[in-house]
Chains A and B, each alone.
Chain A
Amino acid sequence: MDHGSLALQYLLSGITKGSIYAVVAIGFNLIFNATGVLNFAQGEFVMLGGMLAVTLTHFVSLPVAVTGAVLAVTLVGCALELLFFRPLRRHSVLLMIVITIGLSIVIQEAALHLWDEKVRSLPYFTGNEVSSVKMLGAAISPQVLWVLGTVALAVVGLHVFLKFTLQGRAMRACSSNPEAAMLAGINTANMRTLSFGLSAGLGALAGCVISPITMTHYEMGAPLAIKGFAAAILGGLGNPMGAVVGGLLVGVLEAVAVSRLPAGYNDVAAFAVLLLVLFVRPHGLFGSLAAEQAREC
């Protein structure tokens, strides 16, 4: 394999993993933007989406199963917000982080007992396990293109939603200045619920589209959530485009690490870079420090 196509292949595999992280990071970023909460349960939404979709495919066709799973998990996200976050009188962020940690554990264990420990996956949306799209001597699975497509759709969709619809603009208002938004008559509580629901739905969609690549099992949520955070932080919390770039960057970083170091240390390299970014430029590549500080309550 010549050097050029080798490098391209590494890049493509970096994009494969990076697209997975990016699609998780977008949902995580959305909740943080709207509520300031670091939602450790985001990975579990991804897991639930995949698990539900696989179960539904036994009864209905693939597109219906995916839609059903996304809707169901959206409802779950809204329900969780209503149950645990709305009644909080003082929105201490520390409390909310701790709750999301607890929720993530409980959801994971519930999934273990509802389904079981075995792996499962959705069928490839196009092609099968061996099909690949070849370009310039390197190859990539067509499912990765689906993931990238979903990422693009999510980014564009969110952009349109936040900029041009009334609810979207209300959400932006809540995130930049909650008190002023309340004074303006916006129901901030409903906005939080909406953002949780949307983020959960996005996570579920992510779970469905990555399922053929990564396989779905009850423990997949936590490692994905962690990589999703790393991606969102690298890109800059609060910036959805940043989450995507961050995700792709983390994936490519891992691929580069694999090409140079023993493959077992690629995670270490990615997290070392994350820590470095946190220490040197805590607001990430595209975020802003002011927005970060303002979040603290």
Chain B
Amino acid sequence: MATLRHLLGGAATTGGQAQFLGRPWGAAALRVLAFVAVMAAVQLAFCAAGKAYCLTQLTMAIYYAVAVIGVALVMGCAGQVSLGHGAFFAVGGYTSALLTTCDLSAFQQAAWAAWLQSCRVLVVRPDLYGGQVMSVSPWAAFVAAMLLTLVVACVIGYPSLRLRGHYLAMATLGFGLIVHKIILGSALLGAADGITGVPAWRLGAGLALTGKAPDRVANYYLACGLVLLLLVVLGNLVRSRVGRALQAIHDRELAAAVMGVNTAVYKLKAFVFSALLAAMAGVFLTHYSGGIGPSEAGVLKSVRYVALAAAGGMANFWGVAAVSIVINYFSLRGWFGSYDQAVFGALLILIISLTPEGPLQPLGAWLRSLASRWFAKREAAHGPA
């Protein structure tokens, strides 16, 4: 399983660390710079070519990548499959959508409403038809969404991760279905039509999280910043004691337990953190698209996250982010047409087949040797600077 990390780029991780022992920041800083450079270049190219609208799909793909990285964390580090991350995405997205679109104007005169307004938890904003409506502010809704996700993830994760085996797969599958059916069955959550009309999220300093055309470039960089921050944090995590413990659990759980690593706690923390990531992606994307639908909570969506995490190399978060952004971008632009779902399935099978344990192992090995040769050349060119 550890060998999955070496898929197409993982070699750089180990190569970098080996070369820069004692100075682990070198390779990491290089990756951050490369990421920023690529994202900026892409944006400038799109705008120069007059195709700034492509940034919309790219931004959406980046937000989905945040959720996929969460799934990769659980799969690569805790060695468990989570088939319910779509549901966590939905929990975050629906909570924020519901709170920011509900109309509490009826209670405007109540004392508690006035107090909440002064704390800026409740805000009055103009609605689409010229009236005024009082709803929860996006900041407060975000916090509420995160808290709810935290609680739910603990409830689901705690019993499932105590045991070894695929209980998490079952539990998350069941959880995902429950959330999906509850959404479909409740008029409050918009049932099959979803919630629309979610307002923009003013983040201060003139930046608003919204999908409208004038804010497109700013939102693109916001999304890039978010995912970059996440990758840096996870990179540090992987290099820390926690990361080593997770790696030990991944490789040989029994041995790790014998060595005194509290495997259950680490797995639970990884799961809860990944659930929070999915929920955060849900909140951000809901504000960006101005709405959310029940398809986000479905099993098919969760399975897509698993496919992308597996394709990216699971524990190789940069690879996961890259693969996820590219494939989701093409999917959102409709490149795969009616074969969209099949592409994800085929991707899953293909990637697994190319791993050292897979049936297409010789092809996979050849691709990896190509990759490590290319990375070795790059390392040599930059030298132990």
State whether the Cβ of B334 lies closer than 8 Å to any Cβ in chain A.
Answer: no
| Residues in A neighbouring B345, C-beta threshold 8 A | 101-106, 108-109
| Residues in B neighbouring A103, C-beta threshold 8 A | 345, 349
A8-66 at interface with B (beta carbon < 8 Å): 38
The residue that B357 contacts in the complex, of A95, A271, A292, with Cβ under 8 A, is: A95
Alpha-carbon distance A292/B170, docked complex (angstroms):
14
Chain B: minimal CB distance from A173 (Å): 22
State whether the Cβ of B173 lies closer than 8 Å to any Cβ in chain A.
Answer: yes
Interface contact tally, CB-CB below 8 A: 129
- A102:B352 contact, CB within 8 angstroms: yes
Give the number of residues in B that approach A within 8 Å (Cβ atoms): 48
State whether the Cβ of B81 lies closer than 8 Å to any Cβ in chain A.
Answer: yes
State whether the Cβ of B89 lies closer than 8 Å to any Cβ in chain A.
Answer: no
- B358:A88 contact, CB within 8 angstroms: yes
| Residues in B neighbouring A265, C-beta threshold 8 A | 181-182, 185
**Given A98-B81, A278-B159, A279-B159: A87 in contact with B166 (beta carbons within 8 A):** no
**Given A102-B345, A110-B342: A97 in contact with B181 (beta carbons within 8 A):** no
**Which of B207-215, B218-226, B302-310 makes up part of the contact surface?**
B302-310
Alpha-carbon distance A98/B307, docked complex (angstroms):
8
**Given A102-B345, A106-B346, A222-B299: A95 in contact with B352 (beta carbons within 8 A):** yes
The residue that A98 contacts in the complex, of B342, B348, B361, with Cβ under 8 A, is: B348
B346-383 at interface with A (beta carbon < 8 Å): 346-349, 352-353, 355-359, 361
- B181:A267 contact, CB within 8 angstroms: yes
Interface of A toward B, CB cutoff 8 Å: 38, 83-84, 86-90, 92-95, 97-99, 101-106, 108-110, 222, 226, 229-230, 233, 262, 264-265, 267-268, 271-272, 274-275, 278-279, 282, 292-293, 295-296
The 9 closest A-B pairs by CB, nearest first: A105-B345, A102-B348, A87-B359, A109-B342, A279-B159, A106-B345, A102-B349, A264-B185, A271-B174
Could you write out 30 A-B pairs with CB less than 8 Å apart? A38-B166, A90-B357, A94-B81, A98-B81, A99-B348, A99-B349, A101-B306, A102-B347, A102-B348, A103-B349, A105-B303, A105-B344, A105-B348, A106-B342, A109-B341, A109-B342, A109-B345, A222-B299, A229-B173, A233-B170, A264-B184, A267-B178, A268-B182, A268-B185, A271-B177, A274-B170, A278-B159, A278-B167, A278-B171, A293-B163
Interface of B toward A, CB cutoff 8 Å: 1, 75, 79-81, 156, 159-160, 163-167, 169-171, 173-175, 177-178, 181-182, 184-185, 299-300, 303, 306-307, 310, 339, 341-342, 344-349, 352-353, 355-359, 361
